Amino acid sequence: MIKRVGQRIAVAAERWLNSNGHEGYLDDYKWEYNLVEDKTVNAWCMPGGKIVFYTGILPIAQNETGIAAIMGHEVAHALANHGQQRMSAAYIQQGLAIAGNVAIKDEQTRGIFNQSYGIGSNVLGMLPFSRSHETQADEIGLTLMAIAGYNPDEAAELWKRMKANSGGQAPPEFLSTHPSNDTRISNLQSWAPKAKAEAKKFGVSSFRPLGEF
Q: Give the tens place of pLDDT for each residue, 115-162.
A: 543 444 343 333 443 556 788 888 899 999 999 999 999 999 998 998
Residue range(s) defining the domain that contains residue 57: 2-200
The pLDDT value given to residue 130? 57
The per-residue pLDDT of the chain, averaged, comes to 77
Question: What's the number of domains the chain is made of?
Answer: 1
- Selecting among 14, 74, 134, 154, the annotated active-site residue is 74
Of the pLDDT bands very low, low, confident and very high (cuts 50, 70, 90), residue 107 is: low
Report the C-alpha gap between 12 and 53 in whole angstroms. Answer: 19
Q: Is residue 210 a part of any domain in this protein? A: no
**Domain assignment of residue 83, yes or no:** yes
Pairwise CA distance, residues 163 & 182, whole Å: 8
Residue 28's identity, in one-letter code, is D
Whether 144 and 191 have beta carbons less than 8 Å apart is answered as no
Nearest to 41 by CA among 205, 202, 162, 156: 162
Highest mean pLDDT of the ranges 3-7, 100-104, 130-134: 3-7
Predicted local distance difference test score (pLDDT) of residue 102: 47
212 falls within a domain:
no
Residues 11 and 148 sit within 8 Å (Cβ to Cβ): yes
Determine whether 154 is an active site residue.
Answer: no
